[in-house]
């Protein structure tokens, strides 16, 4: 591995100040899920980051693609097994 490749593979450091009770909670959760503390925190942080950004994604479309997108949104869904099951299933508040 070249020096350049080694630099690219290197990870950044993220330092946090944390109260002991919160660290204990994280440690217990990490053990319960079979992860290291680092892997548990990185997984949770990544999920939170993706969730925070998922609705903020911008799609740039030309007018033709935009019109096609809107037309597809306006079309009723095609019947499929999953949709048929959903229609036959009672809503939770009806049970």
Asked if 83 contacts 77 with a C-beta cutoff of 8 angstroms, the reply is: yes
In our burial notation (b when 16+ CB lie closer than 10 A, e otherwise), range 55-66 reads eeeeeeeeeeee
Confidence of residue 4 (pLDDT cuts 50, 70, 90): low
Least confident of 19-23, 25-29, 90-94: 90-94
What is d(CA 71, CA 66) in angstroms, rounded to the nearest whole number?
A: 9
Task: Give me the pLDDT at residue 55, please.
Answer: 82
Domain count, the chain: 1
Question: Which structural domain range is residue 74 located in?
Answer: 7-78
* Continuous H helices in 1-95: 3-9, 20-32, 37-54, 63-74, 81-88
Is residue 1 in a domain? Answer: no
Cα–Cα distance for residue pair 29/36, rounded to 1 Å: 10
In a domain, 90, yes or no: no
User: Does residue 30 lie in a domain region?
Assistant: yes
Domain contains 60:
yes
pLDDT confidence of residue 8: 67
Report pLDDT digits (tens) over 36-90: 999 999 999 999 999 999 888 888 899 999 999 999 999 988 889 998 998 899 9
Q: Is residue 14 part of a domain?
A: yes
């Amino acid at each position: 591995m070249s020096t350049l490749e080694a630099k690219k593979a290197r990870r950044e450091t993220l330092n946090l100040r944390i109260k002991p009770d919160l660290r204990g909670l994280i440690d217990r959760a990490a053990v319960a899920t079979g992860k290291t503390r680092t892997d548990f925190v990185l997984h949770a942080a990544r999920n939170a980051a993706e969730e925070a950004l998922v609705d903020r994604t911008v799609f740039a479309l030309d007018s033709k693609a935009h019109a096609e997108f809107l037309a597809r949104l306006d079309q009723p869904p095609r019947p499929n097994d999953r949709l048929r099951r959903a229609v036959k299933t009672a809503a939770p508040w009806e049970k």
